[in-house]
């Protein structure tokens, strides 16, 4: 993870106040913080990736029906249900993170995520206990969703508050590197099981394996997070409060930050609609709508994510040089003008055409995955950063991101129009473009409410 520091453009640097004493970061501690945050994100998205890629099988296990579309809708309905409680998790864990500390809350969310995912692997099938099976699946998904409400905002805040100003984009990009690693782990495991196991074995016991792996992963992640110290920014807030835990009313996180919250919702909307469309929905779209071979479809998605992982750190470093706004704007423009050509390529069905269409969407998505982990925490001051970001992020994900597979599946079922994924991404790109037009540049600048963070005091 070692890399040469990337200097921002001179125009992007805001001269700090003379009395602001800079925070000198510890490179070893920063690396540990990035690893711990990224691993938690990887575990979260390993579960989401597995759930999406094995959705057809889960539909048969938990929602028996003669209609394949109804099974898929039921499975994605349980997937979307977890996002309904994410704002509640954000409203609990976010303010708690601003009061008791980022590290403690991230340890709790790690335990809950691992427990919820592990529990899914233990649920009996519909054939064994009837309607209790989908109810237990829903309960486990709600636990996952509630804990995830404090995960991404906390992890991005954690990295942003540890990172030196000139490398925040590069270091923040490793959070989404963890996302992609989790997806690749989930997709690779499902692909391997699909290739090696018979359909009967996959339905009877094979589908449980990916969820049971969450237990050991959670223990490792918890160990890494418990070894970390609080971020310098939060420690400074505690010191300001004369060593008492800062008390921030929820009203201050909402009414006091309403403009930044609106920007956050718009940015997260385009980020997550395109993210869930490509990484969660497209595998099922290839299989259920285009009748594409399941194994080959998963391999294409796996290759696209591997390409994104290769590009991710370089794109993150680029945001430190050119800024977050140009990178996000490029992604919005790309999805607006290239979504239709990309989906048309995917619909052709040949391996080359599908790979080209998916690859184009993947590279456009990197514009968001590289910039957002550094851009979103910079919208809010330290005092309310975790809480406000948790609320804005999770409201947007719940309403627009996590519902993407369900809504697009329903739209295609109602209209028969297989271009709906393209139109949905284009609409999200318009909203995201307006948000990036209104946001301020944060590359190379101190976080609001914090002094400059540097690698060396000189």
Residue-level pLDDT at 130: 80
pLDDT single digits (tens) 165-218: 999 999 999 999 998 898 888 878 887 888 888 888 888 888 898 888 877 887
Name the residue with higher pLDDT: 358 or 236: 358
Q: Within 13 Å and on the Cβ side, how many CA atoms surround 110?
A: 26
Rounded to an integer, what distance in angstroms lies between the CA atom of residue 241 and that of residue 239? 5
Residue 356 has pLDDT above 80, yes or no: yes
Q: What is the CA radius of gyration of the chain?
A: 21
Three-state SS at 24: strand
pLDDT band, residue 149 (cuts 50/70/90): confident
Residue-level pLDDT at 401: 82
Please check whether residue 50 is in contact with residue 210, taking contact to mean a CB–CB distance below 8 angstroms: yes
Residue 278 has pLDDT above 80, yes or no: yes
Among the ranges given (3-17, 282-296, 325-339, 423-437), the one the predictor scored with the smallest mean pLDDT: 3-17
Cβ atoms < 10 Å from Cβ of 220: 14
From residue 193, give the alpha-carbon distance in Å to each of 53, 55, 203, 296, 302.
11, 14, 11, 13, 14
Domains of the chain: 27-243+253-444 (1.20.1250.20)
Name the residue with higher pLDDT: 126 or 375: 375
Residue 241 has pLDDT above 60, yes or no: yes
pLDDT single digits (tens) 25-55: 778 888 888 888 888 788 877 877 677 677 7
Residue-level pLDDT at 294: 65
Nearest of 308, 6, 323, 363 to residue 171 by alpha carbon: 6
Residue-level pLDDT at 20: 60
The residue behind tokens 């949905």 is 424
pLDDT band, residue 409 (cuts 50/70/90): confident
Residue 269 has pLDDT above 90, yes or no: yes
**pTM check: above 0.75:** yes
- 99-102: list long-range contacts, CB under 8 Å, 24+ apart: 99/245, 99/246, 99/247, 99/248, 100/245, 101/230, 101/234, 102/154, 102/157, 102/158, 102/161, 102/230, 102/231, 102/234, 102/386
Question: What are the tokens at 99?
Answer: 């009061």
For the chain, the average pLDDT equals 84
Residue-level pLDDT at 295: 66
Could you please report the per-residue DSSP string of 314-373? HHHHHHHHH-HHHHHHHHHHHHHHHHHHHHHHHHH--HHHHHHHHHHHHHHHHHHHHHHH
């Amino acid at each position: 993870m070692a890399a040469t520091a990337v200097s921002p453009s001179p125009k992007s640097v805001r001269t700090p106040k003379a009395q602001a004493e800079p925070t000198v970061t510890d490179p070893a501690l920063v690396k540990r913080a990035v690893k711990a945050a990224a691993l938690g994100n990887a575990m979260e998205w390993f579960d989401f990736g597995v759930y999406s890629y094995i959705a057809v099988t889960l539909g048969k296990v938990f929602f028996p029906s003669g209609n394949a579309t109804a099974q898929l809708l039921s499975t994605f309905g349980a997937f979307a249900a977890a996002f309904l409680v994410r704002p509640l998790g954000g409203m609990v864990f976010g303010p708690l993170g601003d009061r008791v500390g980022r590290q403690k809350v991230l340890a709790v969310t790690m335990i809950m995520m691992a427990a919820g995912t592990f529990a899914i692997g233990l649920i009996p099938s519909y054939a064994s206990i009837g309607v209790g099976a989908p109810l237990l699946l829903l309960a486990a998904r709600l636990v996952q969703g509630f804990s995830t409400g404090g995960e991404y905002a906390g992890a991005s805040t954690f990295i942003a508050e540890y990172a030196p100003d000139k490398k925040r984009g590069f270091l923040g990009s490793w959070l989404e590197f963890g996302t992609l690693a989790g997806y690749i782990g989930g997709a690779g495991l499902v692909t391997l099981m699909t290739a090696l196991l018979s359909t009967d074995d996959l339905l009877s016991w094979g589908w449980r394996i990916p969820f049971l792996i969450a237990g050991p992963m959670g223990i490792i992640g918890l160990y890494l997070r418990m070894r970390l110290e609080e971020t310098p920014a939060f420690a400074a807030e505690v010191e300001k409060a004369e060593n008492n835990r800062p008390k921030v009313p929820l009203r201050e996180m909402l009414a006091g930050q309403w403009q930044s919250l609106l920007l956050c919702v718009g940015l997260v909307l385009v980020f997550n609609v395109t993210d869930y469309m490509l990484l969660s929905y497209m595998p099922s779209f290839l299989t259920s709508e285009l009748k594409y071979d399941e194994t080959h479809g998963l391999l294409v998605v796996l290759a696209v994510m591997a390409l994104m992982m290769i590009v991710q750190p370089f794109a993150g470093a680029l945001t430190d040089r050119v800024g977050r706004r140009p990178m996000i704007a490029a992604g919005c423009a790309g999805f607006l003008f290239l979504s239709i050509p990309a989906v048309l390529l995917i619909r052709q069905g040949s391996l080359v055409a599908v790979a080209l269409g998916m690859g184009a969407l993947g590279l456009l998505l990197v514009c968001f995955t590289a910039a957002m982990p550094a851009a979103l925490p910079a919208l809010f001051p330290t005092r309310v950063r975790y809480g406000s970001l948790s609320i804005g992020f999770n409201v947007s994900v719940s309403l627009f991101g996590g519902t993407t597979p369900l809504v697009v599946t329903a739209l295609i079922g109602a209209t028969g129009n297989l271009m709906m994924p393209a139109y949905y991404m284009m609409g999200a790109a318009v909203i995201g473009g307006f948000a990036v037009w209104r946001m301020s540049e944060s590359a190379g600048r101190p976080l609001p409410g914090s002094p400059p963070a540097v690698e060396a005091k000189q």
